[in-house]
Amino acid sequence: MATKILTEHVAVPGIETFDVYRKQGGYTAVEKALKTLSPEAVVEEVKKAGVRGRGGAGFPMGMKWSFLAKPEGVPRYLVCNADESEPGTFKDHYLMKNLPHLLIEGMIVSSFALGANKSFIYVRGELMYVIHILEKAIAEAKAAGFLGKNILGSGYDLELVVQPGGGAYICGEETALLESLEGKRGNPRNKPPFPAVKGLYQSPTVVNNVESIATTPWIINNGGDAYAAIGIGRSTGTKLISASGHIRKPGVYEIDLGVSVEDFIYADEWCGGIRPGHKLKAVVAGGSSVPILPADKILTTAAGEKRLMTYESLSDGGFQTGTMLGSGGFIVFDETACIVRNTWNFARFYHHESCGQCSPCREGTGWMEKVLHRIEYGHGHQQDLDLLVDVAKKIEGNTICPLGDAAAWPVASAIRHFRDEFQWHIDRPHEATQPGAVYKGDMAASADRLV
């Protein structure tokens, strides 16, 4: 039975309003924290919970909080990263649209813990309708005395500002987000200094993902130990998974970390299996930037064990046979999907979204897109595959921010695991460029490639 830490009340009619949310036990974590706990005690509970950054990096949230510098007389900021733009990921969109007060409650608890009196929710500009939902919810919370001056008579003041982005994937990178919030182009900053020391307006700042912040009310109400009791090992708690692609039931699912990948794909509770009449070919498990894995490798680790939906199990085997949990953007491909076309599509995405600051990323993403385009359209050369791997290697690790890595991994992994499919495009361009043509070669010969 899955624990519903975030989505327990999602189906309650009117849950987006303050009154209904409050009736379901909403804002009790604010009361508990502000009336009975010190900020340090809140940080301690979040540390105990072991919750890891849900935006994709998986860095322990409590530890990130404890790095926040606290010089006298300098304001500190909490900024919620709601710039969800990683292809395959739509869980923060779902959470904010359906449960705006959960995020606001989490923002109050988290801001209190960090000693921030003005906090920001940076939402991608395309989600303007969600921004209106959040602004309405903030006004309700303020009217009820949960925001503003002297909240619940505790002496603690907090103002929440919802900031729209302007359309740029790069602003999901925390320092680019801060630049954008300061009214500039979203160019990532060199680190150090880290935002915890010099962030927004050069003040100490914590940037956390929507889902991460939304865990804090439950953690405060139930305790960090209770949260850590869910999941397996260092993958504590629950995770929202955005499921898309060739499955029977696309959508957002809250799972206990530790569910098997096989169950997640095939059980009726979650994806409900591959669409009728088709078979599983590949999965991108954590948003477009994580390595793509063929069916056999996503279901089973190299050691022959069932792969689980945890940070550790998904990355088991490193990039040779494993991948990453990332943002939980779970994209499923059946046998009708062309891996070459999808890889070109993702490469085009990263080329389009590169901010252009670092040459390896600016130029490399463009080369990868161009080479993949010519392979997909029947003009590939034999040396192109090695060229792609070489370009990917030269981007990886050589850029200010992780967008370079994010662009390199999908290309390198697609060639690693589906080299024969790329080779087919190069060897038999007339066949490969027929409308709807998809490689069936090796996969038909080796049964374990399709599940």
Partner 1 sequence: MTTETNNTIQFTPERLAKANEIIARYPEGKQKSALLPLLHLLQEQEGWTPAEGMDYVAELLNIEPIEVYEVATFYTMYHVKPVGKHVIEYCRTGPCCLMGGEEVFAHLKQRLGIEAGQTTVDGQFTIKEVECLAACGMGPVFQVREKYHMHLTNERVDEIIDELSK
Contacts with partner 1, residue ranges (CB under 8 A)? 75, 84-90, 92-93, 118, 124-129, 132, 161, 163-169, 180-186, 201, 242-246, 250-252, 288, 329, 331, 333, 337, 341-342, 345-346, 349, 352-353, 355
d(CA 97, CA 95): 6
Least distance from partner 1 to the Cβ atom of residue 382, Å: 26
Q: Which is nearer to partner 1, 45 or 179 (CB)?
A: 179
CA distances from 51 to 30, 61, 219, 353, 389 (A): 19, 6, 9, 29, 35
Q: Which is nearer to partner 1, 111 or 244 (CB)?
A: 244
Q: Which is nearer to partner 1, 162 or 230 (CB)?
A: 162
Q: Which is nearer to partner 1, 234 or 348 (CB)?
A: 348
Least distance from partner 1 to the Cβ atom of residue 219, Å: 26
Q: From 49, 134, 122, 114, select the one nearest 84 (Cα to Cα).
A: 122
CB 134 within 8 A of CB 162: yes
Least distance from partner 1 to the Cβ atom of residue 45, Å: 30
Least distance from partner 1 to the Cβ atom of residue 409, Å: 14
Least distance from partner 1 to the Cβ atom of residue 38, Å: 26
CB 206 within 8 A of CB 78: yes
Q: From 418, 450, 399, 232, select the one nearest 325 (Cα to Cα).
A: 232
Residues sharing a CB contact under 8 Å with residue 136, sequence separation 6 or more, in sequence order: 100
> What residue type is 374 in one-letter code?
R
d(CA 406, CA 395): 10
Q: Which is nearer to partner 1, 67 or 201 (CB)?
A: 201
Least distance from partner 1 to the Cβ atom of residue 306, Å: 25
d(CA 83, CA 239): 18
Rounded CA Rg of the chain: 23
Least distance from partner 1 to the Cβ atom of residue 57, Å: 18
Residues sharing a CB contact under 8 Å with residue 100, sequence separation 6 or more, in sequence order: 16, 133, 134, 136, 137
Q: Which is nearer to partner 1, 152 or 337 (CB)?
A: 337
> Dihedral through CA 161, CA 162, CA 166, CA 169, nearest 10?
110
Q: Which is nearer to partner 1, 98 or 342 (CB)?
A: 342
Least distance from partner 1 to the Cβ atom of residue 451, Å: 18
d(CA 337, CA 360): 30
Which segments within 305-356 are labelled E, that is strand? 329-334
Q: Which is nearer to partner 1, 163 or 300 (CB)?
A: 163
